[in-house]
Amino acid sequence: MGCDRVQQEPAALRGWQDRAGVLGASVRKAAERGRVLTQDTQNSGGAAKPDLNLTVRAALDRAAAKISGKFSRTPMAEASIRHMVGATYADMTLYPQAQAQLERAVELRTRLQGRNDPSTLQAKYALGEVYRREGRLTDAENISTETLATQRRVLGSENRDTLLTAQTVAEIYQEEGKYAQAEALNRELVTHWRRVQGENSTGALAIEDNLATVYIWQGKYAEAERVQRQIIGVMLRARGVPKRHPFAATGNLLAMTVGFEGKFAEAETLYRQSVEGLEQFAGKQDRDTLIMTEGIAWACLQSGKYAEGDALFSQVLNTQRRVLGNDHPITLVTLSDWGAAYRYRGMYDKAEALLTEAADGRRRKLGIGHPGTLNSVGDLGWVYLIEGRYSEAEHLLEEATAGLAKARTGVWQEQNVVCALGAALVAQIQYARAEPLLVGGFQKMLDLRATIPAEEAFDLQAAARSTVKLYRDWNKPQQAEEWQRKSRQAGVSI
């Protein structure tokens, strides 16, 4: 659970609506754009007058269907219209439709205008952002880093388009678990935005918010909280309480941070404030609103409000499945969080069902070495152990530890998986194999204790119990007592 939700940090603050020059105007302008698009495609053939009563989605679909074959003599017009249609689909979170239009727009602009043309680069940026939103992180990184390199060379490092693409690249690094790269790029971007827009500009504050997210993943909660409260203070001084502004989402990160520090009542209050603002700004089914509603659910469960928390988790998950899809990284985060919550409450059947789906999906989408995958696999492995399914736990956790050798990020979740594997081996009387895993893994978890959220103390306790049990079962009472004493001195109850 825990830092899983950091991956869901709302995009509202990250400049999605601010990127109007690339991904079009906000959804509030989509209806007008839909009418214009319909007129464009119909006028190209001298067709009848457009139906102004069309819904936005119907207008877009009608426009998209009429593009092919209408512009054989004016391919530049086709490129522009596909770019606009794709941008509008993206505004409406219809990402598969946006992807199809933007891929064709990129193809046309590259052929007609060249790889270095600003319009080509804008289309590639838009496509990279859609890939990121779809959870296709490898595709997103490839096209976005390529676009950024060209923009820096052609437009300069402080051109607005360049800065927006760099922001997307930093977000991709973060979602991939490449935290050192994400932190370095975000620090660079803060400097650029301050120079271009000013010390407390929207752009600079948005990047500082992203930087706070990276701090959270690294367990630097005090530093993250300081940055977040500073951002909110600047906003309040500048414009009052921003209920209808994307900055209403800033409270989400602060809520997560104080929650990781064990301040669950404050976290719930902050989540509710953020949801209120985003519901007005983006609607109840918006991705970002759903992310923060899950935050309320999580805070409720941490405070013992189980009925309310489970009802909210169910509501969010059902909507995410419908809007984003079962295999979307954000949906998988919700599955993992809810499954972990059931595990901590001893409801293992429900935990197993949710965690199995989350672990399978994350292996496919993110890879076995990603911290989010490790969260799901580690939680599922512990569930198997409690259920007495030791061989299945061993197989699952061995796969995860093999993945760690290829993609280490230094996060505590890695050591949680290692300790779970050690516990599975102890249960099968394989003490010699278990010893280096449990001793090394538990010691590293102790070393990383400051980065482990308060809610995750359960895993640290499980690692401590397993290490002591190893030596007791192995008939080595001296070592058992030594590790029990170390646990007590570290404040870890067994």
What ranges do the domains of the chain cover?
9-134
Q: What is the CA radius of gyration of the chain?
A: 25
**Rounded-to-integer distance, Cα 79 and Cα 162, Å:** 21
* List of long-range contacts for 76-83, beta carbons under 8 Å, 24+ apart: 76/108, 76/112, 76/113, 77/40, 77/44, 78/108, 79/105, 79/108, 79/109, 79/112, 79/113, 79/119, 79/123, 80/105, 81/37, 81/40, 81/41, 82/108, 83/109, 83/119, 83/122, 83/123, 83/126
In the three-class reduction of DSSP (H, G, I as helix; E, B as strand; rest coil), residue 206 is classed as helix
pLDDT of residue 367: 80
What's the pTM? Answer: 0.60
pLDDT of residue 159: 96
Closest to 42 in 3D by CA, of 63, 72, 16: 63
Q: How far is CA 228 from the centre of its chain?
A: 18
Would you write out the chain's pLDDT as a tens digit for each of its 494 residues? Answer: 455 655 554 443 333 233 323 333 333 343 344 444 444 444 444 444 544 445 778 888 888 888 887 888 899 999 999 999 999 999 887 889 999 999 999 999 999 999 999 999 999 999 999 999 887 889 999 999 999 999 999 999 999 999 999 999 999 998 887 888 999 999 999 999 999 988 888 888 889 988 998 888 777 888 898 998 888 888 777 655 444 444 455 667 788 888 888 889 999 998 998 888 788 777 888 888 888 899 999 999 989 999 999 999 999 999 999 988 998 988 999 999 999 999 989 999 999 999 999 999 998 888 877 778 878 988 899 999 999 999 999 999 988 787 665 555 567 888 888 999 999 999 999 999 999 999 999 999 998 887 788 777 888 999 999 999 999 999 999 999 999 999 999 888 88
Q: In this structure, what token pair is assigned to residue 471?
A: 């030596």
**Rounded-to-integer distance, Cα 463 and Cα 233, Å:** 40
pLDDT of residue 142: 97
Other CB atoms within 10 A of residue 96 CB: 10
What is the identity of the amino acid at 171? E
What residues contact 113, with CB distance under 8 A and at least 6 apart? 76, 79, 119, 120
